């Protein structure tokens, strides 16, 4: 009987329990303990491991390989999770719990469920086809801009290591996603001149300038909606949205400073710099108008994160076909971002396919269905046992 018929293996369940127990919150908590546990198990199974660390040394990527030669298949996932602070959990977020149908805990869906299945299957020697190398990547700080995968890819390039194909196990309900949008996030900071509110004509109101810029973002979003259409995406155009705004410190003071954050989520065929250019021009014009009143006034637009889109690729169709033969189903392009665009930019054909639903990611009482974890395990057994993966798929 397969894992899909009987539920996930005890090894996969135990791996999920271990992984959830590490509170690997993006940007603040270390993932080194998790990586050491994974490294030890992978090395016992014949993998060799290499690390690339964050600047402060508190987080790292693990890249492990079993087998020799060029190419090979890479199974990749991020180890970081979003914080549970401010959410109403009815269960301990960093302790895996379960009921008859689900495993609960932060990261069970996004994306430690996939990592548990990978570690369970990759450490079972009988599941691995010997013809090509198998690579496993565990990255850090994906949730805050795909920060970890970038130095890892640079390290691999320097070492002359380039897998022939990659599957990133983000939650897609085991559907093959071949493309997703890119994302740029921006912060606009406005500095004016504070005065008592009764003397507003003598100051420069940073809040009003910021609000005018927010209106510019909304107008640009409407224009982009009318100019683009890709029916493959649920939201068939690039989007801009203001997500946070802050200004002032008292109700009787014209605010000297204001800032707001917005993001651009763009189609793979769209040039994000061309989309944002009208905002850059509006920023320059707003600053010029402010300086007619107070010379030190300024408006600054900063791109804080940049994650490229994953585009449809003929090269990735080979690994997509292998995934379908292994039991995955066809999926649609995604409006969220992953590390996939960065792998693709490094010359590694990439698809997204993993257990769980994106609707459960980042939620209180996050969960993964036991049936989906089992299906992922069976999928990986089929894929790595060479029942689905032809040499061309991971050359």
Identify the sign of the CA torsion 168, 169, 175, 179. negative
Instruction: For the chain, give the number of residues.
Output: 395
Of 29, 110, 142, 372, which residue is the catalytic one? 142
Residue 381 catalytic?
no
Query: CA separation (Å) from 184 to 107, 149, 261, 370?
Result: 24, 17, 11, 35
Please name the residues in contact with 154: beta carbons below 8 A apart, sequence gap of 6 or more: 52
Of 29, 80, 256, 377, which residue is the catalytic one? 80
Identify the sign of the CA torsion 209, 212, 217, 220. negative
Residue 80 catalytic?
yes
Question: What does the alpha-carbon distance between residue 345 and residue 276 come to, in Å, rounded to a whole number?
Answer: 22
The answer to whether 180 and 233 are in contact (CB under 8 A) is no
Catalytically active residues, by annotation: 80, 142
């Amino acid at each position: 009987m397969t894992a899909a018929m009987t539920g996930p293996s005890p090894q996969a369940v135990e791996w999920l329990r271990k992984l959830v127990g590490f509170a690997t919150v993006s940007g603040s908590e270390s993932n080194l303990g998790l990586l050491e546990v994974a490294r030890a198990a992978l090395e016992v199974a014949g993998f060799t491991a290499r690390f690339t660390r964050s600047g402060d040394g508190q987080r790292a990527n693990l890249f492990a390989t079993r087998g020799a030669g060029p190419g090979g298949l890479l199974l990749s996932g991020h180890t970081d999770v979003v914080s549970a602070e401010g959410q109403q959990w009815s269960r301990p977020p960093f302790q895996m719990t379960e009921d008859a149908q689900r495993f609960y805990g932060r990261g069970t869906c996004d994306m430690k469920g996939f990592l548990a299945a990978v570690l369970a299957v990759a450490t079972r020697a009988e599941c691995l086809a010997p013809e090509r190398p198998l690579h496993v990547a565990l990255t850090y700080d994906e949730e805050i801009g795909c920060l970890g995968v970038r130095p890892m890819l640079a390290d691999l390039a320097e070492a002359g290591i380039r897998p022939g194909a990659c599957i990133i196990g983000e939650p897609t309900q085991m559907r093959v996603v071949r493309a997703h949008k890119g994302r740029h996030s921006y912060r606009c900071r406005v500095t004016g001149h504070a005065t008592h509110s009764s003397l507003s004509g003598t100051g420069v109101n940073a809040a009003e300038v910021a609000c005018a810029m927010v209106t510019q973002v909304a107008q640009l979003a409407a224009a982009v909606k009318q100019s683009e259409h890709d029916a493959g995406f649920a939201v068939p155009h690039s989007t801009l949205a203001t997500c946070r705004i802050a200004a002032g410190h008292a109700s009787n003071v014209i605010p000297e400073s204001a800032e707001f954050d917005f993001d651009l989520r763009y189609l793979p065929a769209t040039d994000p710099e061309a989309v944002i250019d009208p905002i850059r021009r509006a920023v320059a014009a707003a600053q010029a108008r402010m300086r007619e009143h107070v010379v030190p006034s300024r408006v600054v637009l900063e791109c804080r994160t940049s994650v490229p889109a994953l585009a449809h690729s003929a090269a990735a169709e080979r690994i997509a076909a292998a995934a379908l033969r292994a039991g995955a189903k066809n999926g649609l392009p995604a409006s969220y971002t992953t590390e996939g665009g960065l792998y693709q930019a490094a010359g590694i054909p990439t698809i997204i396919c993993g257990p769980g639903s994106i609707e459960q990611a980042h939620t209180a009482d996050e969960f993964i269905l036991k049936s989906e974890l089992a299906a992922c395990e069976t999928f990986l057994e089929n894929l790595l046992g060479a029942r689905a993966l032809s040499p061309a798929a991971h050359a």
